[in-house]
């Protein structure tokens, strides 16, 4: 797992540790010291801890003008044992929401499992977005089934081309535009 690095091709556009509105502002990273683990497996030091023992993130891009951010995830999303949604919502999403972010794109390529618990934090997060949304891109099929079984899909949009998007070849704006197109297709007329 230590070889899985956060996507770095957009660093010329945005770096969370240099954004004074980011929850990770002025965070310093090591390229050589591996200290964080997921189930005793070391992970790359560029991932950001959010308070969870099993889920790490990287804010890859934020556009305050359009109110959206793109967050890459790594690990196991475990609400049952570790209440990961609480950490994600309280320590990341709420801070971004305070600065006008109401559209969240979650990149789930590296989320290995999901274990559900209550949906309260998802509902609360959804209600606070005021016209915004949360979209999940490239989550594994078994992970999406777990989200569906827990009715989390009432709050996070999955499916269609969102499950198979080659986002690494796109710019952040292109990713956003494709997600918006998919969400508009799902809205009732």
Is residue 6 assigned to a domain? no
CA angle 161, 167, 168 (to 5 degrees): 155
Distance between CA atoms of residues 46 and 139, nearest Å: 21
Is residue 137 assigned to a domain? yes
What is the token pair recorded at 132? 């915004």
Is residue 10 assigned to a domain? no
Domain that holds residue 130: 16-186
Whole-number Cα distances in Å, 3 to 32, 47, 54, 88, 175: 12, 11, 17, 23, 25
Please report, in tens digits, the pLDDT of each residue of the chain (189 residues total): 667 899 999 999 999 999 999 999 999 988 778 888 888 888 999 999 999 999 999 999 999 999 999 999 999 999 999 999 999 999 999 999 999 999 999 999 999 999 999 899 999 999 999 899 999 999 999 999 999 999 999 999 998 899 999 999 999 999 999 999 999 887 654
Sequence-distant (≥ 6) Cβ neighbours of residue 186 within 8 angstroms: 157
Is residue 147 assigned to a domain? yes
The structural domain count of the chain equals: 1
Is residue 4 assigned to a domain? no
Is residue 46 assigned to a domain? yes
Does the predicted model carry a pTM greater than 0.85?
yes
State the CATH number of the domain containing residue 143. Answer: 3.30.750.24
Is residue 1 assigned to a domain? no
Judging by beta carbons within 10 Å of its beta carbon (0-12, 13-18, 19+), is residue 12 exposed, middle or buried?
exposed
Is residue 158 assigned to a domain? yes
Distance between CA atoms of residues 41 and 140, nearest Å: 21
């Amino acid at each position: 797992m230590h070889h899985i690095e956060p996507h770095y091709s957009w660093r010329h556009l945005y770096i969370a540790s240099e954004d004074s509105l980011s929850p990770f502002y002025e965070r310093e990273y090591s390229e050589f010291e591996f200290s964080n683990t997921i189930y005793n497996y070391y992970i790359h030091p560029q991932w950001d801890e959010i308070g969870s023992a099993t889920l790490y993130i990287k804010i890859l891009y934020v556009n305050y003008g359009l109110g959206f951010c793109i967050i890459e995830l790594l690990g196991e999303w475990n609400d049952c044992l570790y209440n990961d949604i609480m950490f994600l919502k309280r320590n990341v999403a709420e801070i971004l929401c305070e600065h006008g972010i109401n559209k969240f794109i979650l990149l789930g390529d590296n989320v290995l499992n999901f274990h559900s618990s209550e949906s309260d934090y998802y509902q609360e997060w959804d209600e606070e977005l005021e016209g915004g949304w949360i979209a999940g891109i490239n989550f594994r099929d078994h992970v999406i089934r777990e989200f569906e079984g827990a009715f989390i899909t009432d709050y996070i949009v999955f499916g269609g081309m969102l499950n198979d998007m080659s986002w690494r070849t796109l710019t952040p704006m292109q990713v956003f535009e494709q997600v918006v197109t998919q969400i508009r297709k799902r809205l009732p007329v």
